[in-house]
Amino acid sequence: MAGQDQDRDRERDAQAYINAAKIEGYPNVYAIGPFGRRLNFASQQRRALNTIWALEYSKKVQLEAKTVAVVGGGLAGITAAAALAARKSLVHLYERYQDVLCIQSLASHRYVHPTANFWPESKISPTTQFPFLDWYADDCDEIIKRLRDEWRTVLVKRIYEPKFYSKVTGLIPCDQQKQKWRLEINGKETDEVHDLIILSVGFGEEGTISGADSKSYWSANDELDRPHEMPWEGFVSGTGDGGIIDALRAVHGHFDNGRLCLQVIRLLESTGIKAKLLELELQGESSPDSLSAGYPRLINESRIPLVFDLLEASLKKKGSPTISLVGKGASPFSKNSAPIHKFMLAHAMDRGVIRYECGTFEDGPALVRGAKKLDHCENVIVRHGPARDLSKLIVPKEAVKALEDNQNSLNTLPLDDAGIGADYWFDDSDDCPRRDLASPDFIGNRFPAAYDFMHDNFKLVLEVNTENNADMHYRARPRSSSVGAAKKQAMPIPSDLFGIRLEIHSAHERRF
């Protein structure tokens, strides 16, 4: 009976991912993203792995020996390419820039965490649990460096021929049934015939407004990091996670690229606020308007000293607004943004340092609020989300809208390590072992990254505990002498690293 239930769950999950990836009128063309709620690096990787798994599990396509084009060399794209190569597809990767992972490669001002956006529904874990391209929470540019290194040394040799400076400008069917496809690259039709196309074009370049700050979310903006004495004042347009994060960054002196959010989560974990947040977000699924009143009420009713002392000490200026957050809705609190960001925004609004305005920006930039128009606004940062590159490839526009609706309704389904992730490995490779948490090969493969994480964040020495071959795991202990200070403790020591159990010992082998 349990086996039948598991099969039904698998079929349901596979169909959910296929429905979220298929494009009406384009057989054998599937899109990983770019739409969805609370998207981050890890959720896009999970979607890529699960989509490839779902196509094979449902027998929609035969992957082995098939020629597949992956369009886009972002994190979802290279994850999909690696998964397809593991299933013995002949993979062609097309990327518009000079290398993979280009857009975020210099984002030293953004702290990226695998699970923070999904707290409190999911537990906080600083490491991913994927068959390859695993990473741990860190500044974005450092994450990209490590992922690129794994791509170049382990994975790229399994791709037929990555093609850079290759912007896909069209999809051309080879026959009336559209069973096979050619690509138009930089305006010219190519000769390669593909059995399957995976579109992973990401969000494309961000849209902006004439006269506003044109820096993208991934480009450093030092103005927002001004010290307490002269905080940046102006407008942030957009109430998704990007807009809220930059508004918080402008008013908090100790935002630390985003680590402040993790410090707040760490304190909230042991309070009743966590349960209230869960209840509020559940209400928001069926009644989005409940979030508008719920978050301010939560701030007023739950003034936990440690949490509010931390936030209060971080504010650059108190009592008068320095930031106007502008959005189209009656409230900045929507189900599409992360609970931790909404919680911190509600606190900043309660303290009077962020003001919300319902309106839209036009070129100038000019702020339109109902019948009123404020011309020539100064200091405007636009976080409206990027232009949709898919609309240039897929016609009619109704097909893109249907894809968006399907992807926005997709719940984040867990990556089942036993049945999905474990299947992605290369049987001829020592440098990409099967994801088996008890395997010495897998434990050893993840060890360098795990060691660096523990050293950089906690100044602990990591080793592999081999006392019992049937229970190999990681063990961390303090150094015998101090070797500099660890990074700010934005998180507690985790119970596992990349899914591998972590045991903490004192210098005298006592558990603490």
Looking at the structure, tell me whether residues 70 and 201 fall in a common domain.
Answer: yes
Looking at the structure, tell me whether residues 331 and 461 fall in a common domain.
Answer: no
Looking at the structure, tell me whether residues 192 and 236 fall in a common domain.
Answer: no
Looking at the structure, tell me whether residues 401 and 461 fall in a common domain.
Answer: no
Residues 6 or more apart whose Cβ sits within 8 Å of residue 175: none
Angle, in degrees to the nearest 10, between helices 290-301 and 339-350 = 60
Task: Identify whether 20 is part of a domain.
Answer: no
Looking at the structure, tell me whether residues 77 and 151 fall in a common domain.
Answer: yes
Place 494 in a pLDDT band, splitting at 50, 70 and 90.
very high
Q: Tell me the per-residue pLDDT of 119-166, one tens digit each, with 9 for 90 and over.
A: 999 899 999 999 999 999 999 999 999 999 999 999 999 998 899 999
Place 313 in a pLDDT band, splitting at 50, 70 and 90.
very high
Range of the domain at 275: 222-382
Q: Can you give the CATH number for the domain in which 64 is found?
A: 3.50.50.60
Place 425 in a pLDDT band, splitting at 50, 70 and 90.
confident
Question: Per-residue DSSP letters for 99-154?
Answer: STT-TTTT-TT-EE-SSGGGTTTS---SB---SSS--BSEEHHHHHHHHHHHIIII
Task: Identify whether 216 is part of a domain.
Answer: no
Looking at the structure, tell me whether residues 197 and 305 fall in a common domain.
Answer: no
For residue 62, what pLDDT is reported?
84
For residue 14, what pLDDT is reported?
87
Q: For residues 76 and 301, which has the higher predicted lDDT (pLDDT)?
A: 76
Q: Tell me the per-residue pLDDT of 441-474, one tens digit each, with 9 for 90 and over.
A: 999 999 999 999 999 999 999 999 988 888 899 9
Looking at the structure, tell me whether residues 412 and 446 fall in a common domain.
Answer: no
Q: What's the number of domains the chain is made of?
A: 3
In the block, which residue shows the tokens 């770019």? Answer: 34
Q: Give φ, ψ of 318 to 5 degrees.
A: -120, 145
Expressed in angstroms, the distance from the first to the final Cα of the chain is: 42
Q: For residues 123 and 223, which has the higher predicted lDDT (pLDDT)?
A: 123
Q: 3-class SS at 441?
A: helix
Looking at the structure, tell me whether residues 77 and 184 fall in a common domain.
Answer: yes
Query: Any idea what DSSP says for residue 222?
Result: G
For residue 213, what pLDDT is reported?
83
Looking at the structure, tell me whether residues 300 and 173 fall in a common domain.
Answer: no
Task: Identify whether 46 is part of a domain.
Answer: yes
Q: 3-class SS at 172?
A: strand
For residue 508, what pLDDT is reported?
38
For residue 24, what pLDDT is reported?
93
For residue 388, what pLDDT is reported?
64
Task: Identify whether 14 is part of a domain.
Answer: no
Task: Identify whether 3 is part of a domain.
Answer: no
Task: Identify whether 1 is part of a domain.
Answer: no
Looking at the structure, tell me whether residues 112 and 187 fall in a common domain.
Answer: yes
Buried b (16+ CB within 10 A) or exposed e, 172-184: eeeeeeeebbbbe
Looking at the structure, tell me whether residues 371 and 499 fall in a common domain.
Answer: no
Tell me how far apart the alpha carbons of residues 380 and 221 are, in angstroms, rounded to a whole number.
12
For residue 164, what pLDDT is reported?
96
What is the rounded average pLDDT of the residues 191-206? Answer: 86
Buried b (16+ CB within 10 A) or exposed e, 294-307: bbbebbeebeeeeb
Task: Identify whether 268 is part of a domain.
Answer: yes
Task: Identify whether 353 is part of a domain.
Answer: yes
Tell me how far apart the alpha carbons of residues 31 and 18 are, in angstroms, rounded to a whole number.
9
Tell me how far apart the alpha carbons of residues 437 and 446 are, in angstroms, rounded to a whole number.
10
For residue 505, what pLDDT is reported?
82
Tell me how far apart the alpha carbons of residues 364 and 372 are, in angstroms, rounded to a whole number.
15
Tell me how far apart the alpha carbons of residues 308 and 198 are, in angstroms, rounded to a whole number.
46
What is the rounded average pLDDT of the residues 278-305? Answer: 92
Looking at the structure, tell me whether residues 398 and 455 fall in a common domain.
Answer: no
For residue 417, what pLDDT is reported?
42
In the block, which residue shows the tokens 């159990």? Answer: 501
For residue 510, what pLDDT is reported?
36
